[in-house]
Amino acid sequence: MSGHGTPIPMTSHPCGPLAGVAEVPGDKSISHRSLILGALAVGETVITGLLEGEDVLDTAKAMRAFGAEVTREDDGTWHVHGVGVGGFAEPDQVIDCGNSGTGVRLIMGAMATSPITATFTGDASLNGRPMARVTDPLALFGTQSVGRNGGRLPMTIVGAADPVPVRYAVPVPSAQVKSAVLLAGLNAPGETVVIEKEATRDHTERMLAGFGAQVSVEDSDEGRVITLTGQPELRPQTIAVPRDPSSAAFPVCAALIVPGSDVLVPGIGLNPTRAGLYATLREMGADLTYENEREEGGEPVADLRARYSPDMQGIEVPPERAASMIDEYPVLSVVAANANGKTMMRGVKELRVKESDRIDAMAQGLRANGVSVEEGDDWWSVDGMGIGGVPGGGTCESFLDHRIAMSFMVLGMGAKAPVKVDDGGPIATSFPIFEPLMGGLGARVLRANR
Ligand code: S3P
């Protein structure tokens, strides 16, 4: 698949123990939201620990295009001078969100109830992803959209000049859809209500409250009911972004499968709506501990310690846990390949509409490396080969998907022979320091087919 510059082939060689401290970058979800909410506040929001990956940098650019002033100091502190709710200017260029579904969907929501028009595009992966899941609820506010067949980017959004508040039950478990509706509700008068059957990551709700909006969350028979009072004046914030549990998953899972490893991953955000992988790994028998548990900036945080775990067992992953680990199934399947017995993952249809069809992408690459995988529309299973049992030696396609590329690099670290990926370029969208960080722990991830 093309669309992300010149492909960067990478090879991950089997390696000795991984050891040391892995300081993974800031949380991607919270980073996007910090920039967008900062742009909608009145005054200066200061952000430390922002993920400086391509996805988030594209959102920073977009916020500038909508009129916010966004600057970075040499020490990595970011400043956002917001324009206030309803204050977005009309961009004079097409907004390119690169690879980022979160970026484009949240920004569409944030501009949907202002009397401006904007056109969005992205790379080949993003332009293939469904946007009707966002434009359908936005239409209820009075927002218009015209995209390609099947509701794909490039797409033009005409913001509602006279938005009405909305009550919307999200039909798929998606924090992006929930967040787009809530951000649109900011500039609608009255109460916007979003109902989700299953809890998805709740950073938007938490951060809206932190910025001074009136938001309430209630559990009811219908699910989680989130009520937002429109047209608040958002107060600028000082935000310390916690490190990303979805990025931490890579050094953690690598440590579990490489003999002799002991890796500490400090300061990881462990919001319960994000921590499903770690519960699953522990159920499989992983030697994974939470140290120094604390709260930072309204989010639970801990230092994770992962040690080599030779006796992990395949399990049936509870489907109700899917939303809290949706981005982690690819790397979980790598651990599953190194466990004993079958790991069954059900209720994961959403994996088919991520940066790639992640079930298909992982199944192809795992099979190419000697692992047996079965799949259906909304489930897949991996037959564990025991620790160190994965033959490796195969080449995998990353399909413009950072998490697919990184998962196969982890597969190679514990396999009998090196694992190759056709293009590791997408890793820069979420984990730009992946190669030096893993290298520092003792991994051998090399560029080109070396
Ligand atoms: C995200 C929500 C999830 C997740 C994505 C980040 C967010 O997507 O996969 O990586 O920050 O809101 P969906 O909303 O499509 O489930």
Indicate if the pLDDT at residue 21 is higher than 70. yes
pLDDT tens digits, 90-136 = 999 999 999 999 999 999 999 999 999 999 999 999 999 999 999 99
Which of 102, 206, 246, 404, when mutated, tests ligand 1's pocket best, judged by the most ligand atoms within 8 Å of its CB?
102
| Least confident residue range of 2-16, 27-41, 235-249, 352-366 | 2-16
- 246 close to ligand 1 (CB < 6 Angstrom): no
User: What is the C-alpha to C-alpha distance for residues 290 and 78, in angstroms, rounded to an integer?
Assistant: 30
Dump pLDDT digits (tens) for 170-200.
999 999 999 999 999 999 999 999 999 999 9
Q: What is the pLDDT of residue 435?
A: 98
4 pLDDT band, cuts 50/70/90, is low
The reply to whether ligand 1 has any atom less than 6 angstroms from the CB of 350 is yes
Question: What is the reported pLDDT for 245?
Answer: 98
d(CA 231, CA 187): 5
Cα(160)–Cα(277) distance, integer angstroms: 39
Q: What is the pLDDT of residue 1?
A: 39
Asked whether 404 and 330 are in contact (CB, 8 A), the reply is yes
Ligand 1 touching residue 201 (CB < 6 A): yes
92 is catalytic: no
User: Which of the residues 327, 401, 422, 423 is marked catalytic?
Assistant: 327
In which residue are the tokens 């020490």 written? 75
Number of CB atoms found within 10 A of residue 222's CB: 11
Average pLDDT taken over every residue of the chain: 97
Fold of 10-26+243-447: UDP-n-acetylglucosamine1-carboxyvinyl-transferase; Chain (3.65.10)
Cis-peptide into 154, omega within 30 deg: yes
Q: What percent of the chain has pLDDT over 70?
A: 99
430 CB within 6 A, ligand 1: no
Q: Is the CB of 175 under 6 A from ligand 1?
A: yes
Ligand 1 centroid distance, CA of 245 (Å): 13
Q: How far is the CA of 349 from the centre of ligand 1 (A)?
A: 14
Q: Where in the chain are the domains?
A: 10-26+243-447, 28-229
pLDDT score for 2: 40
Domain at 28-229, CATH homologous superfamily: Enolpyruvate transferase domain (3.65.10.10)
Q: Which atom of ligand 1 is nearest the CA belonging to 323?
A: 16
What pLDDT, in 10s, does the model give residues 247-273? 999 999 999 999 999 999 999 999 999
Measured by CA distance, the residue closest to atom 5 of ligand 1 is 102
Give 128 Cα–ligand 1 centroid separation in angstroms: 16
What does the pLDDT average to over 401-420? 98
The 10s digit of each residue's pLDDT in 362-395 is: 999 999 999 999 999 999 999 999 999 999 999 9
3-state secondary structure the chain: CCCCCCCCCEEEECCCCCEEECCCCECHHHHHHHHHHHHHEEEEEEEECCCCCHHHHHHHHHHHHCCCEEEECCCCCEEEEEECCCCCCCCCCCEECCCCHHHHHHHHHHHCCCCCEEEEECCCCHHHCCCHHHHHHHHHHCCEEEEECCCEEEEEEECCCCCCCCEEEECCCCHHHHHHHHHHHCCCCCEEEEEECCCCCCHHHHHHHHCCCCEEEEEECCEEEEEEECCCCECCCEEECCECHHHHHHHHHHHHHCCCCEEEEEEEECCCCCCHHHHHHHHHCCEEEEEEEEEECCEEEEEEEEECCCCCECCEECHHHHHHHHHHHHHHHHHHHCCEEEEEEECCHHHHHCCCCHHHHHHHHHHHCCCCEEEECCEEEEEEECCCCCCECCEECCCCCHHHHHHHHHHHHHCCECEEECCCHHHHHCCCCHHHHHHHHCCEEEECCC
